[in-house]
Structure 1
Amino acid sequence: MARSVTRRALLTTASLVAIGAVVHAQRSQPWRVALVTSGQGDRIIGWFREALEAKGYREGKDLIFELREAKGHYALLPKLVEELVALKPDIIIAEATPAIAAAQRATSTTPIIMAPATDPIGSGFVRSFAKPGGNITGVANMFGDLTAKTLDIIRLLFPKVRKIGVLTSNNPTHPALAHVAARSPGVIGISAQRFVPPNPADDEKAFAYMPAAECEIVYVLA
């Protein structure tokens, strides 16, 4: 498993890991690669295609992509993954923790690539970084480590700030990250308030509440 810096780099790395895992042996028909995303999938699948074409894999000849995207509506993920599993893919690439969790519940035999996970061990996806075990591997963005550091940067850039708003979602990793975001600034005298819009369409309402709550800066979790 590897650490990376950008979301695109993480996803591209995962795509190459995925294809390396299944396209090691040649066969007459294309390999079927399922991609399920927690958010929007069009840009992500574009990154995959670009990276794989650079490696010589041709869609339609070597690979067939099957895309399902939740677009932030995590309750849809179990059904979307069930649809993909029914297609008998050779591998499932799951983008972000909600999609990974849905894929894990749906199959214990089809290989699953995390692309990426925030806390793969704490979420129960793998046993350890060295020996993942089971049918799941991939990359981790280590966002928990970055949360406290990002708040340190906020303090350095805005030394007079007294309150920040923390925008989260229903992503199951966000409560723990929000706890870090609330605890870390408290140590240096900054208060934090969490805002949890249930769906992406509710983000604007959450932003509208922040000035009334006297939030001077908004910190958006991944």
Structure 2
Amino acid sequence: MEAFRQGLRELGWIEGQNITIEYRWAGGNMDRHPALASELVKLPVDLIVTAGSPAVRAARQASITIPIVVAIMSDPVALGYAASLARPGGNVTGLASLFEELTPKQLQIFKETMPRATRVAMLSYVDSAPSILPATEAAARALGLKARVFRIRDVADLDAAITAAKTERADGVHVLPSPFFNRHRARIAELATKHGLPSISEASEYVQDGGLMSYGPNFPGMYRRAASYVDRILKGAKPGDLPIEQPTKFELVINLKTAKAIGITIPPAILLRADEVIQ
């Protein structure tokens, strides 16, 4: 959120002076999103800023008229929130990561890092965008990887899934995009390392918390960019007329300390491609 507030300040919006922000947090409980979105609509607010498919869905169900600016979301066209990226047409706009295209690239990096890998465990949150998992499973098959999907509902499922992945001799763990996984990234990293499993996610914070690798957009930058949508909408623009943007820069982050802990060597070619290496 600090990146978002910074983006607002750069555009002249100072919290407490010329803009008021009503904060609502789900605290990792995705079931709270509908009630929180309804609260905001009843206040009312001039627009809603959110991120993640469950939160976007809740906001959209709460109002089809209040502008919704999304900092991070999956394919909004596939989800039915926009007619097209160039002209959304509804009340939802912002930035789309198109995780359906990102996760296959993550698997490719995983395979290049672990060329002998044949099995991969996939952690998929039950409320994630439905198009992400099929795209990722198809990519796994194309790379010669057998995917074992674990559908995660709560924190207890994480322990059970990663333990089972080790028992079933998975060669690594692919953490699919979800706000739930991001909130519990430190626990996932800890479990994967404990069981000696290489892992990859989309958030660099995951690697900073002990995960092996991440490949994805700069999420703070996306929040900062979301502020520009707020600026334009508050100045009269209609959300349906504002094109949905996609990130153009993706970062590969590697934790060599974790690599050493689980006993693997990162190929030099992968290290050379890394934007950040944590020693």
**SS state at 2:20 partner:** strand
Q: Which residue of 2 aligns with 1:110?
A: 66
> How much has 1:221 moved relative to structure 2?
0.9
State which of 188, 191, 197 in structure 1 corresponds to 2:146.
Answer: 191
Q: Is contact 1:72–1:199 with CA below 8 Å preserved after alignment?
A: no
Q: How many residues align?
A: 177
Aligned to 2:235: none
Select the residue among 103, 115, 120 that pairs with 1:164.
120
Contact 2:125 2:153 survives alignment (8 Å): yes
Q: Is the 8 A contact 1:182 1:193 kept in 2?
A: no
SS of match in other structure, 1:195 = strand
Equivalent position to 1:206, from 119, 140, 161? 161
The DSSP-based 3-state class of the residue aligned with 1:211 is helix
List per-residue Cα deviations over 1:136-192 (Å, max 9, x = no partner): 11110111111112212222221100100111112331x432222222222332201
Say if 2:123 and 2:151, in contact at 8 Å, map to a contact too.
yes
Structure 1 residue runs without a partner (length 5+): 1-44
Q: Distance in 1 between matches of 2:73 and 2:122?
A: 20
Q: Is the 8 A contact 1:181 1:192 kept in 2?
A: no
Choose the corresponding residue for 2:25, options 69, 77, 80: 69
Q: Deviations over 1:188-214 (max 9, x none)?
A: 322011112202454233222210121
Give me the whole-angstrom Cα distance separating, in 2, the residues matched to 1:134 and 1:56: 27
Which whole-Å CA distance do the structure 2 matches of 1:192 and 1:65 have between them?
A: 43
Question: Which structure: greater strand fraction?
Answer: 1
3-state secondary structure, aligned to 1:181: helix
TM value normalised by structure 1: 0.74
Counterpart of 2:38?
Answer: 82
Equivalent position SS for 1:140: coil
Residue 53 of structure 2: which of 80, 97, 103 is its match? Answer: 97
Query: Cα offset for 1:73?
Result: 1.9
Distance (whole Å) between structure 2 residues aligned to residue 84 and residue 202 of structure 1: 31
What amino acid is aligned across from residue 220 of structure 1 in structure 2? V
CA–CA distance in structure 2, aligned partners of residues 206 and 219 of structure 1: 12
Q: What SS class does the counterpart of residue 88 from structure 2 fall into?
A: coil
Structure 2 counterpart of 1:18: none
CA contact (8 A) 1:168 1:195 kept: yes
The DSSP-based 3-state class of the residue aligned with 1:166 is: strand
Q: 1:180 aligns with which of 127, 135, 144?
A: 135
Distance 2:100 2:143 in 1: 19
After superposition, the CA RMSD in angstroms is 1.6
Q: Supply the distance in 2 between the matched residues of 1:115 and 1:176 (Cα, whole angstroms).
A: 19
Where 1:147 maps in the other structure, the secondary structure is helix
CA distance in 2, matches of 1:210, 1:200: 16
Please say if residues 122 and 176 of structure 2, whose CA atoms lie closer than 8 Å, have aligned partners that are also in contact.
yes
SS of residue in 2 equivalent to 1:71: coil
In 2, the alpha carbon distance for the partners of 1:115 and 1:201 equals 29
| Structure 1, 175-184 or 138-147: larger mean CA deviation | 175-184
Return the match for 1:53 from 3, 6, 9.
9
Q: 1:86 to 1:217 in 2, by over 3 A?
A: same
Please give the TM-score of this superposition, normalised by the length of structure 2.
0.60
- Identify if the C-alpha distance between structure 1 residues 157 and 49 changes in structure 2 by more than 3 Å, giving closer, same or farther: same
Q: Which amino acid aligns with 1:221?
A: L
- Measured at CA, do residues 81 and 201 of structure 1 come closer, stay the same or move farther in structure 2, by a change above 3 Å? farther
